[in-house]
Structure 1
Amino acid sequence: MNFQSIPGQERAKRLLQNGLRADKLSHAYIFAGPHGSGRKEIARAFVGALFCSRNVDEACGECLECRKLAHGNHPDLTWVEPDGASIKIDQIRGLQQQFAYRSSSGGTKVYVLNEADRMTVQAANSLLKFLEEPQTPSIAILITENGQALLPTIQSRAQWVPFLPLPPEQMKPPLLAEGLPEELVHVAVHLASGLEAARKLIQINWFAETRNVMIQLMKDLASKQPFAVSVQQKVMKSEVADHLDTLFDMIMLWYKDMIHVSFGRKSSIVYIDQADWLAKQAFTRDADGWVRCMERAVEARKRLRSNANAQLVLEQFLIGVK
């Protein structure tokens, strides 16, 4: 994997490639940003460029070092994942033992801590000593969604590389080129931070089901008939009940679509297969009315995060917007 093959994150790429070209690299980096935004992919591209024996700022993919990385058996790279719920002190101690020996090529060794904010306090303190007094030339890459959760002393000893969510319009073309369903792609790119995360969402069965249920709920709410409690009960008895946070995220996009249609921005709508129905309903409320509906969805989402009763949250939201 190389930088060129990864969409977006131009700032992160530029920062790392400039360091490679100038041969001015930090001994530790914090790759901080939302899940699925390409942090792991950029880490692999950076390690590839660092080890490549032909190029300076981009992995060639053909030299011996690149082939070792591609096969997952490069002796100078160690990738650490959480052991259960956390990265434990024994894992950091094991890392220190591995790095007590020099690189096989006499160069720099690299270790990557994925989900580094999940280190135990003991592990973090042990890592801090390792960062301050490395026994061999080494580079650390700490991948995290929340860099502020790391020890302040670790934060101050590493260079931050910020990662931002990819714009939806940048994610759509490659996902559509893969043959993924267009109606799911349009929703996923607004809920995910990057290609990897969007792709995973689309491929999970409950995601399509949640979208269908949400549309059914919204149409039922818009009808002049009394709201069907059976629809709500159906939601709570289905797999969707475990993903009400995503349901409310989809509802917010639905109301945004109503606003887009109200202002003649039909090209911006997310639920493309519902365009005709949206066009008929968008003018049943003014823009302020749709904004208030969105605010109710946001509030319901917050209550879910506070561990409020899920069924009660859904009930109160549906009554409120009806």
Structure 2
Amino acid sequence: MSFQAIAGQAQAKRILQNGLRSGRLSHAYIFSGPSGSGRREMAKELAKALYCSELVDDSCGHCLNCRKVDHNNHPDVVWIEPDGASIKIDQIRELQKEFAYRATASQTKIYVLNEADRMTVQAANSLLKFLEEPLTDIIAVLITENGHALLPTIQSRAQWISFVPASPLEMSSILIEEGLSPILVSPAVHLAAGVHAARELVSAEWFAEARNTVLQLAKESLTKLPHAMITLQQKVFKSKLNEHIDILMDLWMLWLKDMVRLSSGHKENIVYIDQADWMSPLAFSREVGFWITGMERAVDVRKRIRFNANPQLTLEKWMIDLQGG
């Protein structure tokens, strides 16, 4: 893999490759953006490019150093993950000791803190001191969904690189070319921020069933409500889909957006294009406002469930409200 193998993120690639070419990489970066947008992959590619023996501003992928980074056994690259619910001060202290005493062939060392916003206050303060007074030539990469959750003093000492969701069209093209099912790729690329995350969704055993169940529930809730209640109980709450309520709600929201488009006379770019034959007449049977109201209620339902409302009762009530408009 190289930087170019990561879909999108042109600005992030440009910043990092310019730094590699000029030999003026920052001593610390904040990779901020949604999960699945390529932040981890970019951090690994930065490490590979830094040590690659063949290229200056990218990784060749086949030299010894590239292979070591790929297999997570390069002596100068350290990944730190949350220990339980947080990154603790002992982890930062251990990092400092490890880099202070490690003798290696290369001069520059790099460490990556995944989910850096989950550092305890003590760990963040210890890291701040490490950023201010590094013992050797060190590059830090802090990966987070929300860089603003980091201490302002850490933010001010690092170069911010924003990651944005990749284009659904671009992701779709890549995944379909790989041979993945277009009808599963279509919703997945609207739910994921990057190709890797979308690929994982499509490949998940439960995802196809989740898509089919949402379509069945959407149709039945508007035409055969008693059947919808049975489907909800049997196919969701008595199955493994019970563990993926968030994704089910996201898939349902995509369906409602399709209904808004269809009721407005726009059939192009709908997610569930293979279902248009029955969705179109149903969409035209209601005003556009009906579907928009459904979307607003879906947002409220998702919020209630995330704040620990009973999922089954909340969804049942929503389906009753949806039928009544």
**TM-score, normalization: structure 2?**
0.93
Q: Cα distance, 1:227 vs. partner?
A: 5.7
Q: Contact between 1:31 and 1:142, CA under 8 Å: does it hold in 2?
A: yes
- Any stretches of 5+ residues in structure 1 without a counterpart? none
Check 1:149–1:224 CA distance in 2 against 1; reply closer, same or farther (3 A cut): closer
Query: Match for 2:161: what amino acid?
Result: V
Worse overlay, 283-292 or 227-236 = 227-236
Q: Contact between 1:257 and 1:270, CA under 8 Å: does it hold in 2?
A: yes
Q: Deviations over 1:284-314 (max 9, x none)?
A: 1121211111111111111112222212210
Pairing 1:48–2:48 present = yes
Give the aligned partner of residue 58 of structure 1.
58
Check 1:133–1:310 CA distance in 2 against 1; reply closer, same or farther (3 A cut): same
Worse overlay, 131-140 or 276-285 = 276-285
Q: Give the whole-Å Cα distance in 1 for the aligned partners of 2:225 and 2:201.
A: 34
Give the aligned partner of residue 309 of structure 1.
310
Worse overlay, 137-146 or 235-244 = 235-244
Give the aligned partner of residue 28 of structure 2.
28
Q: Deviations over 1:62-100 (max 9, x none)?
A: 444324323432211111122222222222111111111
**TM-score, normalization: structure 1?**
0.94
Check 1:71–1:252 CA distance in 2 against 1; reply closer, same or farther (3 A cut): closer
Query: Match for 1:250: what amino acid?
Result: L
Pairing 1:87–2:87 present = yes
Q: How does 1:27-176 map to 2 (within 5 A)?
A: 27-101=27-101, 104-176=104-176
Query: Match for 2:70: what amino acid?
Result: A
Query: Match for 2:286: what amino acid?
Result: R
Query: Match for 2:83: what amino acid?
Result: D
Query: Match for 1:246: what amino acid?
Result: I
Q: Contact between 1:100 and 1:135, CA under 8 Å: does it hold in 2?
A: yes
Give the aligned partner of residue 295 of structure 2.
294
Pairing 1:187–2:187 present = yes
Query: Match for 1:281: what amino acid?
Result: L
Q: How does 1:181-220 map to 2 (within 5 A)?
A: 181-220=181-220
Q: Cα distance, 1:43 vs. partner?
A: 0.8
Q: Give the whole-Å Cα distance in 2 for the aligned partners of 1:100 and 1:230.
A: 62
Q: Give the whole-Å Cα distance in 1 for the aligned partners of 2:206 and 2:25.
A: 43
Query: Match for 2:321: what amino acid?
Result: G
Among all aligned residue pairs of Structure 1 and Structure 2, give the percentage whose two residues are the same amino acid.
60
Q: Give the whole-Å Cα distance in 1 for the aligned partners of 2:276 and 2:170.
A: 22
Give the SS at the match of 1:107. coil
Check 1:67–1:229 CA distance in 2 against 1; reply closer, same or farther (3 A cut): closer
Q: Cα distance, 1:186 vs. partner?
A: 0.6
Q: Contact between 1:103 and 1:109, CA under 8 Å: does it hold in 2?
A: no
Q: Contact between 1:101 and 1:136, CA under 8 Å: does it hold in 2?
A: no
Q: Give the whole-Å Cα distance in 1 for the aligned partners of 2:274 and 2:160.
A: 42
Q: Give the whole-Å Cα distance in 2 for the aligned partners of 1:204 and 1:68.
A: 29
Q: Give the whole-Å Cα distance in 2 for the aligned partners of 1:221 and 1:106.
A: 63
Give the SS at the match of 1:193. coil
Q: Deviations over 1:268-299 (max 9, x none)?
A: 11112212111221201121211111111111
Give the aligned partner of residue 241 of structure 1.
242
Q: Give the whole-Å Cα distance in 1 for the aligned partners of 2:114 and 2:98.
A: 18
Worse overlay, 288-297 or 217-226 = 217-226
Structure 1 residue runs of 4 or more that deviate by more than 4 Å after TM superposition: 224-228
Q: Cα distance, 1:238 vs. partner?
A: 2.4
Worse overlay, 44-53 or 23-32 = 44-53
Q: Contact between 1:36 and 1:193, CA under 8 Å: does it hold in 2?
A: yes
Q: Deviations over 1:236-271 (max 9, x none)?
A: 222223322222211111111112223333231111
Query: Match for 1:75: what amino acid?
Result: P
- Any stretches of 5+ residues in structure 2 without a counterpart? none
Check 1:132–1:318 CA distance in 2 against 1; reply closer, same or farther (3 A cut): same
Q: Deviations over 1:19-43 (max 9, x none)?
A: 2222222111011111110001111
Give the aligned partner of residue 273 of structure 2.
272
Give the aligned partner of residue 320 of structure 2.
319
Q: Give the whole-Å Cα distance in 1 for the aligned partners of 2:303 and 2:289.
A: 21
Q: Cα distance, 1:189 vs. partner?
A: 0.7
Worse overlay, 227-236 or 94-103 = 227-236
